[in-house]
Amino acid sequence: MLGIMCVQLYTSRIILTSLGVVDFGLYGVVGGVVIIFSTLVSALGSATSRFFTVELGRNDFDQLRKVFSTAVALHCAMALVVVLVCESGGLWFLNTQMDIPADRMYAAQWLFQFSVATALFTFIQIPYNAAIIAHEEMGVYAYVGLLEAFGKLIIAYLIGISPIDRLIWYGLLLMVLQIIVVCVYCLYCLYRYNESRFKLQRDKTLYKRMLAYSSYDMIGNISVMAQGQGLNMVLNIFCGPVVNAARAIAYQVQSAATQFSNNFLTAVRPQIIKLYAKNDIEAMMKLVQQSSIMTYMLMLMVILPLSLDINFVLSLWLGEYPKYTDSFTIIILVNTLVNAFRNPRTTVNHATGNIKLPNLVTGTVLCVALPFGYLLMKLGFNPNSVFFGMLATTIVADVTNLIILKKYVDYSIIEFLKCVHLKCIFVTSIVLLIVVPITMSLEPGFFRLIVCTLLSISAIFITSWMIVLDKRQRNRIFKFVKRKVNGKN
C-alpha cells in the first residue's frame, strides 16, 4: 500500500500538469454527477457484503450461492436504472446547472459518457469484491491495487501523447482500465469460489430482503454523497472549476492518507460480522474498540506531519497549486480523523441488520452539511466555510451513532468513550505538545518534513504503547515479535 500511495500521488502531479487546473477540476466535478446517481447501487453493494459474510460465518454454502446470484442480478438491474437516470437527469444538470467554460462543454459531455460507462462496469464488479472480502483474501487487493495504480500512472503519461482532446482521452483510458480490473476480479472469483457462478434465482424473499436492507443503507450513502460530491457541486456553482480542482487535490491527499487504515478496516469488517453471527457480542465490541483506536492512530501518523507541513508538501508534490488547496486539505484530514471513530461501529450496524434508524438519523445529520454549505456560500462566506460545516455535522453524527448503537447492542457508551475517544484525544494532545514546538522552530523544507514525520510517528507509537495498550496486549506483541525473530510462525 505504501508503493500504491506513492504512485498515486506522483500520478496526480502528472495529471494536473497534463490536463491543467480547469480540466482537472472539471474531471472531478463531472465524474461527481455520475457518483451522485450511483448511490443506489453502492448501497446494494453494502448489503451484498453483509449477507455474504453472515452466510460464511454460518457455513451455509447453499445460501451463499443464492446470495451471490441474487446480488449479481440486482446489481445488473440497478446499474441499468442508474444509466437511464444519468442519461436524463444527469445530462440536464451537466448542461444547465454547472459552471463549465463554453469551450470545454464538448469535452465535458464526452467525459460524462465515459464516466457513466466506467460506473457501469464498477457496479458489475461489486458482488465479486464482496466475495473476496468475505473470504478474507486481502492479498488479492494488493495485487489488483498495484495493477490499477500503475495502470493510472501509464495513463498519466499517455495523456501527453493524446491523439484527441486530452480530457476526453483521459476519460476513455480510465474506462478501459476499469474494464480490465473488473475482468481480473471476475476471473479470479470464477476460478477460486464455486458460489461465484451465476444462476438466476427465483427466491422473491431474498430479493426483497436485500433490497429492503440496501434501501435503508442508501440513506447513509446519500449523506456521504451530500458531503462529498454535493458540496463539490456547491463549490462549482459559486466558485467555478478552479476551486473544484483545489477540492479534488485535497481529496487526493485524503485518499492517500487513509490507504493504510482503509485496508486495515477491510480486513477487520468480516471478523466483526462473523463474531456477531456467532453471538459473541463481548468479543465483537472489544474488536470494535481496538480497531477504532488502531484506525485513528494509523491515520494520525500520516495526517499530523502532512497538516503541519502542508504548503511544503503541496509545493514539493505539485509545484504550483490552486488557492484554498492547503486549507481544504487540512480541514478534510481532520474530518477524516473524526470519521475514524465511527467507521468500525458502522460495521456493527450492518452485522445486526438494524440499519434503518442509524442511517436515518446519522444520515440526516450528515446531509445537513449540503444545505448549510449552500447557505454559507450564498451569504458570502469563503469556500473554507463549506468544509467547516461538514466537520461540524461529522462530530454530531458520531455522537448520535454512539447513542443509537446502544439500542441494538448491549455495551457501555461511557466505557467506549473512555477506552476510545478519551485515549485518542489524550494521545493526540501529548503528541501535539511534543511535535508542534519542535517542528515550528525549524525552517520550512525537506529537513523539517523528515524531522516532523519521524517525530510524529515515534511520539504516537510511544504514547500509544503507554496509554492505549494494556499489559496483556503489550505481552502479546512481545511474544509475537520474539517468535518472528526466532523464525517461528
For 200-228, the pLDDT digits (tens) are 887 888 888 887 777 766 766 777 777 77
pLDDT band at 438 (very low <50, low <70, confident <90, very high): very high
DSSP tag of 443: P
Mean pLDDT of 240-249: 85
pLDDT at 41: 59
pLDDT at 402: 92
Q: Which of 247, 237, 299, 289 is nearest to 268 (CA)?
A: 289
Write out the three cell numbers for 94: 451537466
Q: How far is CA 80 from CA 12, 40, 116, 209, in A?
A: 31, 11, 11, 21
Residues 248-258: b if buried by 16+ CB within 10 A, e if exposed = bbbbbbbebbb
Question: Has residue 274 got a pLDDT over 70?
Answer: yes
Mean pLDDT of 39-60: 70
pLDDT at 377: 92
pLDDT band at 373 (very low <50, low <70, confident <90, very high): very high
Q: Rounded mean pLDDT of the chain?
A: 83
**pLDDT tens profile 411-425:** 899 999 998 999 999
pLDDT at 444: 87
**CB of 390 closer than 8 Å to CB of 225:** no
pLDDT at 375: 94
pLDDT band at 437 (very low <50, low <70, confident <90, very high): very high
**Amino acid (one-letter) located at 320:** E
Question: Has residue 279 got a pLDDT over 90?
Answer: no
* Nearest-angstrom CA–CA distance, 303 and 258: 9
Q: Which of 488, 246, 221, 461 is nearest to 355 (CA)?
A: 221
Q: Which of 489, 467, 466, 468 is nearest to 479 (CA)?
A: 489
pLDDT band at 35 (very low <50, low <70, confident <90, very high): low
pLDDT at 308: 92
Question: Has residue 43 got a pLDDT over 60?
Answer: yes
Mean pLDDT of 422-448: 92
pLDDT at 1: 61
Provide the residue count of the chain. 489
Q: Which stretches of 278-381 are DSSP H helices?
A: 281-308, 310-318, 325-352, 356-367, 369-378
Question: Has residue 127 got a pLDDT over 80?
Answer: yes
* Nearest-angstrom CA–CA distance, 348 and 342: 10
Range scoring the smallest mean pLDDT among 47-51, 93-97, 428-432? 47-51
Task: Kindly state the percentage of the chain with pLDDT values over 70.
Answer: 92
Q: Which contiguous run of DSSP H or E holds residue 401?
A: helix 384-405
pLDDT at 428: 93
pLDDT band at 260 (very low <50, low <70, confident <90, very high): low
Cell 492512530 locates to 297
Residue 381 main-chain phi, psi, to 5 deg: -70, 160
pLDDT at 39: 58
Cell 451465476 locates to 198
Highest-scoring range by mean pLDDT, 1-5, 44-48, 326-330: 326-330
Q: Which of 481, 478, 483, 431 is nearest to 457 (CA)?
A: 431
